[in-house]
């Protein structure tokens, strides 16, 4: 007789890529990653997760060749790993503290390379991205200061036709500050549940 899978063992084919943008020193877990890990812990058992700490990777500055050579060779090194991970994911989660009202530099560098991947022969980047959901986990001193970054991420998703999976915001500060934000912790428990709208 067929067995009904237990709901917490559901394997629904989703593959989450968590791109961590914090520049905290190695061994110091930031508020934003802590919050994202709370959200990830609530995923059904067996859901695939890949975590990339962008500040630990070698990410070259993007070079704008759109109006000169017009195309880009396939990336190498850590950028190649990120492109492969990006294409393999169904759900991309930016794990990004607010830095000066915007994205931290490692994550911004990664996004700038989308402009190269859109012009890399053999990579159907735009078509692939349009099948994915983009979410943002962020912390900052207060919610209002996160709004420009939240708007920027939503517009990036729209540009590539990605589903917008929304934002999980928590009140950050020194490490562990977000643990006192009960609303954020409660939101984390369901944040990754739904597929993007």
Ligand X SMILES: Cc1cc2nc3c(=O)[nH]c(=O)nc-3n(C[C@H](O)[C@H](O)[C@H](O)COP(=O)(O)O)c2cc1C
Provide the binding-site residues for ligand X, judged by CB under 6 A: 22, 24, 30-33, 97-101, 139-142, 145, 172-173, 175
Minimum distance of ligand X from residue 122's CB (angstroms): 36
Contacts of 116 (CB under 8 A, 6+ apart): 62, 65, 72, 75
Closer residue to ligand X in complex, CB, 33/91: 33
> Is there a contact between 162 and 128 (Cβ–Cβ < 8 Å)?
no
- Cβ proximity to ligand X, 71 vs 176, nearer residue: 176
Cα 91 from Cα 163, distance rounded (Å): 9
**Strand partners for 134:** 92, 164
**Nearest to ligand X of 24, 126 (CB atom):** 24
- Which residue, chain included where needed, has tokens 């915001």? 169
Closest approach of Cβ 151 to ligand X, in Å? 14
Closest approach, Cβ 79 to ligand X, in A, equals 23
Q: How far is the CB of 56 from ligand X (least distance, A)?
A: 14
Beta-ladder partners of 133: 91, 163
């Amino acid at each position: 007789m067929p067995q009904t899978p237990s709901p917490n063992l559901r394997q629904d084919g989703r593959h989450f890529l968590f791109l961590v943008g914090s520049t905290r020193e190695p061994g110091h877990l930031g508020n934003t990653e802590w919050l994202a890990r709370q959200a990830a812990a609530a995923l059904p058992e067996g859901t695939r997760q890949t975590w990339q700490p962008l500040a630990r990777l070698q990410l070259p500055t993007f070079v704008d060749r759109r109006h000169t050579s017009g195309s880009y060779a396939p990336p190498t090194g850590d950028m190649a790993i990120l492109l492969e991970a990006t294409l393999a994911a169904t759900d991309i989660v930016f794990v990004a503290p607010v830095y000066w009202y915007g994205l931290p530099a490692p994550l911004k560098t990664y996004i700038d390379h989308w402009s190269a991947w859109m012009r890399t022969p053999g990579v159907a980047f735009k078509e692939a991205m349009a099948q994915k959901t983009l979410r943002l986990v962020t912390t900052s001193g207060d919610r209002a200061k996160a709004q420009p970054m939240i708007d920027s991420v939503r517009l990036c998703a729209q540009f590539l036709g990605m589903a917008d999976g929304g934002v999980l915001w928590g009140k950050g500060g020194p490490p562990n500050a977000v643990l006192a934000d009960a609303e954020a912790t409660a939101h984390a428990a369901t944040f990754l549940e739904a597929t993007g709208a």
